Structure 1
């Protein structure tokens, strides 16, 4: 008599839909993440505490996508004004873009954390494979120096495969949408250097200062990459939101 991954038993001759998970440290002992205590020889596997209830994502996803659309438009306008050398107008648009990106970044991080938490319900037995990072990294990955260049991507991949239908979509190569978004996001940073030269006269003396700013969309070359990254992330947010909403309801 075999024991299923959900704690039930399979009679001889019956098929088991998925292989049972094995608990490290208990040779051959299956685990029951949300079911009753499983018995296997001398070992007893206590049931794990169920995750928090799934959270709705549709409203948050729509707001996040809307702010990303606005960010893409501002990057396009700012890039055009910088190409036309419209200094004062470009400065105003860049300032507005900086203010707009604050709530946009907050909603993206909140959305990513929520969909990552929901993955624990959509894929509790990890048929999509092991998670790359714990759910707390959906927030912390963006604030790690240097690590922000790749850690958020790992979280997004966990969300993507954990949201996919395990019987219909096999885990394989990284989807092109995610690759294109992350490449544009990195290029918007690497090309976002802007040198500012300021000259002031105080008491008959002239003072010159130089500063270097690095920010996505901060240069004519960076702006199109930042706009493309915003649009691609918008598409990613909509796709993941729709999939999760459909599976959580169903």
Structure 2
């Protein structure tokens, strides 16, 4: 198998790469990290594209009047975006499963100390109320425990994690609002489009910030002695 760091071939009977000294057991961890990173990038690209497309729809609605507005035509035009958000949710679910596998491994490789048991890496996402605050806390602990950080660097990492989680929650909220929106009047249609744009923007930003956490944690753990 090739080394995750230098590309040299590691014999199956040794634990370290003979060329750079990297642990062989971290090869698959890096591969999972790269896969999660790429899936998040694809999710961000899809969300950004749907947001830009929705922005283009806001122009005709801005120029429309109550006399020229056609609720039926607007509803048909916006209907595919509901399907896009549904597909995005399915993609996020697939990405989330691989992300949990990566986070479980990252938690086990981080030296600690940990305030929560490893089981909460999985349970924290599915327990009501707890899943509103525990997942970002676990990611933050894994991140800062994987390297040597000063206070300012810990605060910066905390801001990235908090930004990711806040954007993810807001993106989910606005996506649900868009799905239950109304286009009966011109004002309702304009508001619904703006909500859809906000949902896409928050989802794209959440994916980008999550990519930053995956990249940093994976990088720290594969280079750690």
Q: Same fold (TM over 0.5)?
A: yes
- The one of 76, 101, 108 equivalent to 1:117 is 108
Give yes or no for the alignment of 1:180 onto 2:163.
Answer: yes
Q: Counterparts in 2 of 1:162-241, with a 5 A limit?
A: 162-165=145-148, 169-170=149-150, 172-173=154-155, 175=157, 176-192=159-175, 193-194=177-178, 195=180, 219-241=196-218
Q: Which residue of 2 aligns with 1:77?
A: 49
Structure 2 unaligned segments of length 5 or more: list them.
1-23, 58-73, 184-194
CA deviation after TM superposition for structure 1 residue 158, in Å: 1.6
Report which of the two has the higher share of helix.
Answer: 2
- Aligned to 1:131, the other structure's residue is in SS state coil
Confirm or deny: 8 A CA contact 1:71 1:101 kept in the other structure. yes
Confirm or deny: 8 A CA contact 1:133 1:154 kept in the other structure. no
Q: Which residue of 2 aligns with 1:160?
A: 143
TM-score, normalisation: structure 1: 0.59
Structure 1 unaligned segments of length 5 or more: list them.
1-52, 199-217
Q: Counterparts in 2 of 1:29-40, with a 5 A limit?
A: none
Please list the CA deviations of residues 52-87 of structure 1 after superposition, one character each: whole Å capped at 9, or x if unmatched. x96542000000001101111111122233442632
Confirm or deny: 8 A CA contact 2:170 2:199 kept in the other structure. yes
Please list the CA deviations of residues 153-197 of structure 1 after superposition, one character each: whole Å capped at 9, or x if unmatched. 1211220122013xxx24553623223212212322333323156
Q: Counterparts in 2 of 1:5-84, with a 5 A limit?
A: 56-83=28-55, 84=57
TM-score, normalisation: structure 2: 0.65
Confirm or deny: 8 A CA contact 1:81 1:87 kept in the other structure. no
- The one of 99, 104, 115 equivalent to 1:108 is 99
Report which of the two has the higher share of strand.
Answer: 1
Distance 1:236 1:148 in 2: 18
Confirm or deny: 8 A CA contact 2:143 2:216 kept in the other structure. no
Confirm or deny: 8 A CA contact 2:51 2:200 kept in the other structure. yes
What RMSD in Å do the two structures reach over aligned CA positions? 2.5
- The one of 52, 70, 86 equivalent to 1:95 is 86
Q: Which residue of 2 aligns with 1:35?
A: none
Q: Which has the higher contact order (CA 8 A, sep 6+)?
A: 2
